């Protein structure tokens, strides 16, 4: 998955800093989206995956207009209902922007939403 950094993706726009470069929260969002996609083959009907842990090192700034390729490497098999994805972000120059791991848990979607009680399940 490749994303281009826009003004809306910057630390200034998201309030996570005061510089016009890719914000760490947006980078994490993009990496997590890559794991959602990579988790698909592990899910059966009625299941979804939810994020449970994120460990990311944001190593290099990316300016507005910069492109970032995001990858999430699927595990060979889940550990129980847990999936651990090594993740990576590389810029158009081939420089490592971020590296880390994101964990997801496989859950029954209806049971998960029912467990929210009074919270909106939209």
Let me know if 32 is a catalytic residue: yes
Let me know if 58 is a catalytic residue: yes
Catalytic residue among 24, 48, 73, 99: 24
**Dist. CA 33–CA 66, nearest whole Å:** 19
Catalytic residue among 10, 32, 35, 62: 32
Let me know if 24 is a catalytic residue: yes
Residue 14 gets which letter from DSSP? H
Helix (H) or strand (E) holding 30: helix 24-39
The answer to whether the CB of 57 falls within 8 A of the CB of 92 is no
By DSSP bridging, strand 82-91 and strand 2-4 are: unpaired
Catalytic residue among 48, 52, 58, 73: 58
Residues recognised as catalytic: 24, 32, 58
């Amino acid at each position: 998955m490749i994303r281009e950094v826009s003004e809306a993706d910057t630390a200034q726009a998201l309030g996570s800093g005061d510089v016009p470069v890719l914000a760490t929260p947006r980078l994490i969002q993009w990496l997590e989206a890559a794991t959602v996609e990579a988790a698909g083959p592990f899910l059966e009907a009625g299941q979804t995956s939810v994020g449970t842990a994120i460990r990311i090192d944001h190593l290099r700034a990316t300016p507005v207009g910069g492109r970032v390729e995001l990858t999430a490497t699927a595990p060979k098999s889940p550990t129980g209902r847990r999936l651990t994805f090594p993740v990576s972000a590389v810029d158009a120059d081939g420089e490592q922007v971020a590296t880390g791991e994101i964990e997801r848990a496989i859950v029954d979607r209806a049971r998960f939403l029912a467990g929210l009680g009074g919270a909106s399940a939209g």
